[in-house]
Every structure is written in C-alpha cells, then in structure tokens.
Homo-oligomer: A and B are copies of this chain.
Amino acid sequence: MAFEDVFPEALKLALDNVRRIPTYGERGASRLVYNLLKLQPEERKLVVQALTEASEKLRPCQECYLLTDRDVCAICSDSRRSKKFLCVVEESQDAYSIERLERYRGVYHILQGRIAPLEGVSPQDLTIDRLLDRIEKNNVKEVIIATNPNAEGEATANYLMKLLKDRFPSVKVSRVSYGLQFGSLLEFVDELSLEKSFENRK
C-alpha cells in the first residue's frame, strides 16, 4: 500500500494548509497539528472555533492598520485620545503591548513590517504612504518611532526620521530610548544598551 493511501487526507490537508502561515514550515505545522489533536474533541472545538472567529472578525483598522474587530479601531475612534501624537510600530502586537501600560494617550500607526533588505522588504512594502497622509491631515505634532530595538528596526527608524524631517520639518520626531531592561544582568548586557544607559543617565 502506498503511503498516500494510508495517510489520512484530513491530516495531510491540515499540515499542508498550516504551512501557509508565515514562519510555519514542516516542523511548525507538524507540531501545531499533532499537538492540537492531542486535545479531546470538546477542547479541540473551542480552539478551532476561536481561531475561526478571529480570522473572520479581525482586520486592519482603516485609519491606522491596527488589527481590530471593527472598521476603525477603538483607539482611533476614541475622541479622548489625541491624534496629534502618533506612535509608529512594526506590528499590531507592539501597539497592544504599549497599550497594556495604559499610559499613552495618542494614536498608533502600524507599518505592517520593517525595512529588511536581506529579506526583500523595502519601504514600499510598508504603510508609509498612509503614515505621511495621516501626519498631514491630522496636523500631527509628534511622531514617536517605536520600531524594534534591532538592526532592521533601527534601519526603519532612521529611514523614517530622515523622511519625516524632510517632509514635515515642523513636526517633532522622537525615538524610544535604549537602556537597561529590567531583569537583565549588567554583566551580560550588550555594549550598545550599556553605553546608552550611561548616555541617557538622569
């Protein structure tokens, strides 16, 4: 009997389709599917229903591209928030991480990625045109660049900084600072962060 006759079609389809998900290759798909199938039918149902609902209901905010369950997200819709402060992040989870602080009262802009030449991601692949539109239309006062603290995040931050200073000279452009992260040990901190922690000392 050939392998194809023995391997359940539903299992093959699950594995093949999960591989459509970015970052999920053969191993990732295998781990997800087989582990999901370790659950009892009732729990399996809860999981797939939640995933189905999420994939049906969630989409990018028409204003800022934040993943949301409505056309315009709760943040952009909130009149108590100031559209004059715009925090630029790479992905939705970054914005939601900042929101957990319940400190920031401005709005966000999700780039949907970051500049990464080695991966073939250039500025045109991000939502930068829309960002420039919004800065103009909303008379934004300050743009806080909160891309990730790594090589690509820095490249993206530098690109945006130049672009914004050139396009909107009167707009304040800031970048979140580097320093020591709580829970790390001075002995094992990278040089850049250590230097910055001294530079930015108070």
Q: Which residues of A contact B (CB under 8 A)?
A: 1-3, 5-11, 13-14, 16-18, 20-24, 30-39, 41, 43-59, 67-69, 73-75, 78, 80-81, 91-93, 96, 99-100, 102
Additional 19 contacts, C-beta under 8 A, given A3-B100, A8-B67, A10-B57: A3-B99, A6-B74, A8-B68, A8-B74, A10-B53, A11-B54, A11-B67, A13-B50, A17-B49, A20-B39, A21-B39, A30-B93, A32-B32, A34-B93, A36-B51, A37-B54, A37-B67, A44-B56, A51-B51
Q: Who on chain B is nearest to A14 by CB?
A: B54
Asked if residues B100 and A10 are in contact (CB atoms below 8 Å), the reply is no
How would you classify the secondary structure of chain A's contact residues: helix, strand, loop or mixed? helix
How many copies of the shown chain assemble into the complex?
Answer: 2
Q: List 12 A-B contacts (CB under 8 A).
A: A3-B100, A6-B96, A10-B58, A17-B47, A21-B35, A21-B38, A21-B47, A32-B32, A37-B55, A41-B56, A48-B51, A48-B55
**Bound state CA distance, A67 and B11, in angstroms?**
9
The docked-state distance in angstroms from the alpha carbon of A23 to that of B99 is 27
